[in-house]
Amino acid sequence: MRSLSLWHSLPAAIRGGMDPDEAYSLSDYYIQRIESPDCTDLNNIMDIHFLAYDTFIHRVHEIQLQGKEYSPFVNDCIALIHRNIYEKDHSGGSGRSPRLFHLLPVLPV
């Protein structure tokens, strides 16, 4: 029960771009620390909560600085554009390759 509030960090961290396995592992680590028999003092419990929140925040911030805050689909589209951006221009002078956009996967509806 003491660790229930840590579960609220998981969806936010995952939405922020954190790998779900990493987020669950990190959460489990802090839950184990809070639920350990040695952790009985309220101040100690609060310190671990703040440390956990701080860790989640910093991990998500690092991920976003690396450009991984987008969904896998958007990251695939960005990678495709980067791979083909300098392809020979067959667009009639618009600077955009008509073939490029046909390479993108169909968006799910």
Please tell me the predicted confidence (pLDDT) of residue 109: 39
Distance CA 34, CA 3 (A): 6
Q: Does the pLDDT at position 42 exceed 80? A: yes
Report DSSP letters for 5-70, one per residue. Answer: GGGGHHHHHHHTT--HHHHHHHHHHHHHHHHSTT---HHHHHHHHHHHHHHHHHHHHHHHHTT--S
Q: What percent of the chain has pLDDT over 70?
A: 65
Please tell me the predicted confidence (pLDDT) of residue 94: 52
60 by Cβ neighbours in 10 Å (0-12 / 13-18 / 19+) ranks as: buried
Mean pLDDT for the chain overall: 75
- Look up the pTM and report it: 0.57
Q: Which amino acid is at 3?
A: S
- Which tops the pLDDT comparison, 69 or 39? 39
